[in-house]
Amino acid sequence: MNRSAGSSARDRHPLPKRSLFDPRIVRGALVEAVKKLHPRVQARNPVMFVVLVGSVVTTVLFIVDAGGNTAAENVFAALVTLFLWFTVLFANFAEAMAEGRGKAQADTLRKTRAETMALRRRPDGTVEKVPATQLTVGDECVVAAGEIIPGDGDVIEGVASVDESAITGESAPVIRESGGDRSAVTGGTRVLSDVIVVRITARPGETFLDRMIALVEGAERKKTPNEIALNILLSGLTIIFLLAVVTLQPFAFYSGAQQNVVVLIALLVCLIPTTIGALLSAIGIAGMDRMVQRNVLAMSGRAVEASGDVTTLLLDKTGTITLGDRQAAAFVPMPGVSEDRLAIAAYRSSLADDTPEGRSIVSYAKAHHGVEGHGVNGHGQGDTAVLVPFSATTRMSGVDDDGYQVRKGATDAVQRWVKESGGEVPGALADVAEGIAGAGGTPLAVAEVHDGTARVLGVVHLKDVVKAGMRERFDQLRAMGIRTVMVTGDNPRTARAIADEAGVDDVLAEATPEDKLALIRREQRGGALVAMTGDGTNDAPALAQADVGVAMNTGTQAAKEAGNMVDLDSNPTKLIEVVEIGKQLLITRGALTTFSIANDVAKYFAIIPAMFSGVLPALDRLNIMGLASAESAILAAVIFNALVIVALIPISLRGVKFRALTAATMLRRNLLLYGLGGLVAPFVGIKLIDIAISALGVF
């Protein structure tokens, strides 16, 4: 998991890329939109169900009354009926569009899930060939190079390199071995070398691949808690408007202006929150889809929603905040040694060091001291040089070249080497080394034996390097009211130094998994919602306790089951993106709810004067839009109400633009945009449609 940040998930996605409005998806969605007219589907959405019933009633009325009506009355009833049906169809279309990309991707995954055969090991050690679908928990299977692993499980014997690109999209093979945190294998991936024995841990039909298909397809999509609450609000509003419209007829009767039922239904459909009712499920599906596009599999929509609510982020230091490895940050020479001299020696001693630390010394010397072209022997390439690689006993690496020797390594090891070679160790060395360690860095001493004289040249300061842009990220998170806690095994002093540099709010140093769990519980008791990433089995309790637990795909099966999301890229920095996607989902939902309700004001000003100004001419003064006729006013409102759904499909699928701002600023911006915009837009829209209708000469 120590992969560097910024690895682009998009390039390595296992699923075929499709744009949101891929023509194939649009075609499929058009068909789905009609299929979704089934009352059982509609009944799940109370608002749209009312529209469906309204459409059926107006259709029946149109047919029944057609004979007795004038041509103009028939055209009016037909057009209202038509656009009521369109309202339902547009809502279905929006949902089908949101589901489209996931469905297409699930189909691809199904194709790649070939019918695999497994070699199951009998208790006596012999093997039998069975279909993978018959494997049950506890079965042991032998998988050799070139074969596909038949199911999810743990390696219990052997070690092998495995190609997991079918799941992760990552083509570089990974090592899987028995015992420890790298034992988990996923069904559908391919063994590239060696032979392993896998003990199956997933029941047939419940494997990771199965779950992945179900998730991208949205087959098991349940309404999230906030969606349920929002549906209650929308149903409540629908009932209120139903009351307002139903009681309007007696009031109209009293006033001598009895209304046509088609007109009353048109008014009802315009008033109930159809816009958000039509787009609500599309917004939720699209939110899940955006997670999938970033290679994060959320096990439920609830988890996506919770990620928007997160108030505390637990971030592992290594790999998330800092690059995985320590890097050279400075050369500190001993008295009497020039810095360049030290740089050259450090460079030479590291040429043989293939660790990330060693490589970082080489590149630092090149970049900051212009050390270039020095061969191993210091004066061009020599053949006599002997590389001395790092070993656990010497804890040094270096080069021997014809009497010239250079070593780099742990301070005490280098000290001993210098003393053994007859040199003096300057007192400054201990001070410098201690200073570096105190600041959270790692000191590496560099020494040489030149012409028989051994001496210490100086110290290389290795330190954790905070990834670029992290401070800005944390500032943004803070602005959004999210507290960041860095979790590390380092001692408190080191941890604090890195935390200050990165700009996180708090530190959990010398952290054990138990500490992590305790921290999460403490935060939650204080009302916080906590998100974290983890990969090891000992992370599992914390992942389960956290409100949002993102398990790395490279992690153990236990970790993946404990969390409520899996990151296929195993990139812990992605936790921040997960939070942003969650917030974006909620903002989109809120924006369109506000927009939808604000829309109603204009519709009243269109429809009420149209209904009554015939009998009560004074009410024509409410026709502030100056709509051409009663019929065109009502039609314009109905048409606007239907078209606004289509107009808002892109925003509900892509989500509103997200910017890291404080809640107060976001509220002001969005209220202005969607609240005020929602008030004004329909005045303009209805007027334009009215102009079009009268220009066409319909009414």
Distance CA 522, CA 440 (A): 27
Distance CA 351, CA 123 (A): 52
Q: How far is the CB of 519 from another protein (least distance, A)?
A: 16
- Single residue of 60, 156, 172, 232 touching another protein by CB under 8 A: 232
Instruction: Report 594-633 residues binding another protein (CB under 8 A).
Output: 594, 597-598, 600-601, 604, 608, 612, 616, 618-619, 621-622
Say if strands 386-388 and 483-487 run parallel, antiparallel, or are unpaired: unpaired
- Single residue of 228, 468, 688, 692 touching another protein by CB under 8 A: 228
- Single residue of 123, 205, 527, 697 touching another protein by CB under 8 A: 527
**Which range binds another protein by CB under 8 A, 163-171, 196-204, 225-233, 490-498?**
225-233
Q: How far is the CB of 612 from another protein (least distance, A)?
A: 7
- The verdict on 244 binding another protein (CB under 8 A) reads yes
Q: How far is the CB of 244 from another protein (least distance, A)?
A: 5
Question: Does the annotation count 316 as an active-site position?
Answer: yes
Q: Give 269: exposed, middle or buried? Use CB within 10 Å, 0-12, 13-18, 19+.
A: buried
If the CB atoms of residues 150 and 582 are measured against another protein, the closer one turns out to be: 582
CA distances from 525 to 13, 34, 480, 575, 646 (A): 38, 49, 21, 22, 44
Full strand arrangement of the beta sheet holding 548-552? 296-298, 565-567, 548-552, 530-534, 312-316, 483-487, 506-508
If the CB atoms of residues 6 and 236 are measured against another protein, the closer one turns out to be: 236
- Single residue of 253, 453, 521, 522 touching another protein by CB under 8 A: 253
Q: How far is the CB of 94 from another protein (least distance, A)?
A: 18
- Spatial contact of 595 and 279, defined as CB atoms under 8 Å apart: no
User: Total residues at the site for another protein (CB under 8 A)?
Assistant: 75
Distance CA 48, CA 91 (A): 8
- The verdict on 71 binding another protein (CB under 8 A) reads no
- Single residue of 354, 500, 668, 688 touching another protein by CB under 8 A: 668
- Single residue of 8, 128, 254, 697 touching another protein by CB under 8 A: 254
The radius of gyration computed from the CA coordinates of the chain, to the nearest angstrom, equals 34
- The verdict on 390 binding another protein (CB under 8 A) reads no
- The verdict on 507 binding another protein (CB under 8 A) reads no
- The verdict on 261 binding another protein (CB under 8 A) reads no
- Spatial contact of 611 and 251, defined as CB atoms under 8 Å apart: no
Instruction: Report 556-575 residues binding another protein (CB under 8 A).
Output: none
Instruction: Report 263-302 residues binding another protein (CB under 8 A).
Output: 271
Task: Say whether 386 sits in a helix, a strand or coil.
Answer: strand
Instruction: Report 77-106 residues binding another protein (CB under 8 A).
Output: none
Distance CA 466, CA 503 (A): 10
Instruction: Report 670-699 residues binding another protein (CB under 8 A).
Output: 670-671, 674-675
Distance CA 654, CA 591 (A): 13
Q: Which of 651, 687, 673, 480 is nearest to 594 (CA)?
A: 673
Q: Which of 498, 570, 580, 468 is nearest to 531 (CA)?
A: 580
CA distances from 331 to 147, 204, 324, 399, 415 (A): 51, 58, 21, 19, 17
Task: Say whether 671 sits in a helix, a strand or coil.
Answer: helix
Instruction: Report 474-493 residues binding another protein (CB under 8 A).
Output: 478-483
Q: How far is the CB of 53 from another protein (least distance, A)?
A: 20
If the CB atoms of residues 111 and 621 are measured against another protein, the closer one turns out to be: 621
CA distances from 443 to 356, 357, 358 (A): 15, 12, 13
φ, ψ of residue 157 in degrees (nearest 5)? -140, 140
- The verdict on 146 binding another protein (CB under 8 A) reads no
Considering 139, 210, 289, 316, which one is annotated as catalytic?
A: 316
Q: How far is the CB of 278 from another protein (least distance, A)?
A: 17
If the CB atoms of residues 256 and 373 are measured against another protein, the closer one turns out to be: 256
Q: How far is the CB of 434 from another protein (least distance, A)?
A: 40
- The verdict on 544 binding another protein (CB under 8 A) reads no
Distance CA 378, CA 165 (A): 45
∠ CA 472-477-478, nearest 5°, is 95
If the CB atoms of residues 396 and 482 are measured against another protein, the closer one turns out to be: 482
Q: How far is the CB of 671 from another protein (least distance, A)?
A: 6
Which residues have a catalytic role annotated? 316
